[in-house]
Amino acid sequence: MPFSSPAAALDVELRPDSPALLHVDPLDDALSWAAEYREALRAQVTEHGAVVVRGLGLRDADQVAAVYARLSGGLMTEREAFAPRQAHLPGVYASTTWPANQPMCMHHELSYLLDVPGLMLFACLTAPPQGGATAVADAEEVLRALPTRLTERFEREGWILTRTYNDEIGASLTESFGTADRAEIEGYCRAHAIEATWQPDGTLRTEQRRSAVVRHPHTGRRCWFNQIAFLNEWTLAPEVREYLLDVYGEDGLPFNTRYGDGTPIGEDVVQLINSTYEAHTRREPWQAGDLLLVDNIRTAHSREAFTGERQVLVGMAEPVRPAEHTSNPEASER
C-alpha cells in the first residue's frame, strides 16, 4: 500500500506529559513501513528520547520480532536478569514477571552490565483496561534536578549492586547466566568485572561496581544512568522488605545497591531519587498494536500498576559500553 511522505508520517505530537507520539495510518504491512522509515524514526528517538508509534497494528510475536529486526541492529540475548521472563522468540521477551498491583519504578534496563542495551523496544499486544503504562523520564533532566552534592558523590564513587542467587526469589542462575555450570558462570563474571563468591550453602553472591552518570555515546551529554533506586531494598514494599530481611538477612538479599564506597544508601535518598523521577515522568496509556522505542541511555522507563490482562513484548538492541562504565579496581579489592 502507498505510504504518506516521510515528513508527514514522522510529524510527531509533543505534549509535556507524554512521550513523543507518532500517528500512522492503519497499516496492513508494518514490516515495510519499519524498513522504509527506520532512519527517520530512529532520528526522532535520538531527538526526543522515546517515541510511541500508533497505528502499526502489531498483533503477534512473529510480527513484532520482524519489526524489531528492521528497526534495530539485531536483538540482544538478556543476561544477568534480576527476575525471570518468558522468551517468545530469540531476543523477544515477555515483560518481567512482577505483581500487577505493584509498580516497577524508573530504571535504565540492565544498566549494571558492562555492555548495556542502547535501544529498548516495546510492543503492546493486549492493553490493560486500567493502568500499566510504560512511562518514561529524561535522564538529563533528572540529573539536573537531583541535588548536586548527591550526584557528584555517585559520579565520583559509582554505585555497587550486590546479588544473592537463591533459586527462590528473583532469577535463577540459569535464567541470569544462561547456564548453571560453575566454571562457566565464574568465567562470565571475570570477563564482566563481577566479583563472584560461592557461599557454603552453594548459593552465589556477586558484587559489581558501575558508573551512575555516563555521557551519551552519540550526544556526549551527561545522563543519570543506573538502577540505584530500582534495585535498592527501600524501593520494595515494606512487607516484602521485612520478609526478605527476616528470611535472608541484610547480606543475603536477592539484590541491593550501595554507594560506591560500600556504605548503605538511606531510605531518604531512595525516596528522593524516585520522587525526582516521578516529577519528570511522561506517560501514554497503551493501546493494542502500539510500538514504543526508548533510548536506554537518555531515557529511563517504568511499568505502572494495572488491572486486567496486559501483554507487552520487549526487545533489547544495540549494545554499547559507555566510556565511564567500567569497574573500579577498588571495588574488587575490598
Compute the distance between CA of residue 316 and CA of residue 121 in angstroms, rounded to an integer: 6
Q: How many CB atoms lie within 10 A of CB 305?
A: 16
pLDDT of residue 85: 87
Instruction: Say whether 141-275 and 19-139+283-320 share the same fold.
Output: yes
Burial class (CB in 10 A: 0-12, 13-18, 19+), 321: middle
Residue 104 bridge partners (DSSP): 303
CB 256 within 8 A of CB 175: no
Q: What are phi and psi of 67, to 5 degrees?
A: -65, -45
Tens of pLDDT, residues 179-203 = 999 999 999 999 999 999 999 988 9
Domain ranges of the chain: 19-139+283-320, 141-275
**The whole model's pTM is what?**
0.92
- Exposure class string for 129-147: b at 16+ Cβ within 10 A, else e: eebbbbbbbbbbbbbebbe
Cα 214 to Cα 226: distance, rounded to the nearest angstrom: 9
pLDDT for the residue 1 = 37
Instruction: Read off the C-alpha cell for 87.
Output: 522468551
Please choose, from the candidates 210, 179, 170, 199, the residue with its C-alpha nearest in 3D space to the C-alpha of residue 85: 170
Which pLDDT value is given to residue 326? 60
Alpha helices in the chain (DSSP H): 6-9, 30-48, 61-71, 139-145, 148-157, 173-177, 182-191, 238-248, 267-279
What is the distance between the alpha carbons of residues 212 and 221, in angstroms, rounded to a whole number? 14
Helix, strand, coil % (nearest 5) of the chain? 30, 30, 40
Q: What kind of fold does domain 141-275 have according to CATH?
A: Double-stranded beta-helix (3.60.130)
Task: Measure the CA–CA gap between 175 and 226, rounded to whole angstroms.
Answer: 22
List beta partners, residue 316. 120
Beta bridge partners of 23: 54
Superfamily of domain 19-139+283-320: Clavaminate synthase-like (3.60.130.10)
Q: What b/e string do you get for 24-63 counting C-beta neighbours within 10 Å, with b at 16 or more?
A: beebeebeebbeebeeebbebbeebbbbbbbbbbbeebeb
What residue type is 328 in one-letter code?
Answer: N
Closest CA to 52 of 218, 287, 310, 279: 287
Residues of the chain with pLDDT under 50: 1-8, 328-334
Q: Tell me how far apart the alpha carbons of residues 79 and 240 are, in angstroms, rounded to a whole number.
A: 25
Q: Are 302 and 283 within 8 A, CB to CB?
A: no
Looking at residue 7, what is its pLDDT?
A: 39
What is the C-alpha to C-alpha distance for residues 83 and 139, in angstroms, rounded to an integer?
Answer: 24
CB 115 within 8 A of CB 319: yes
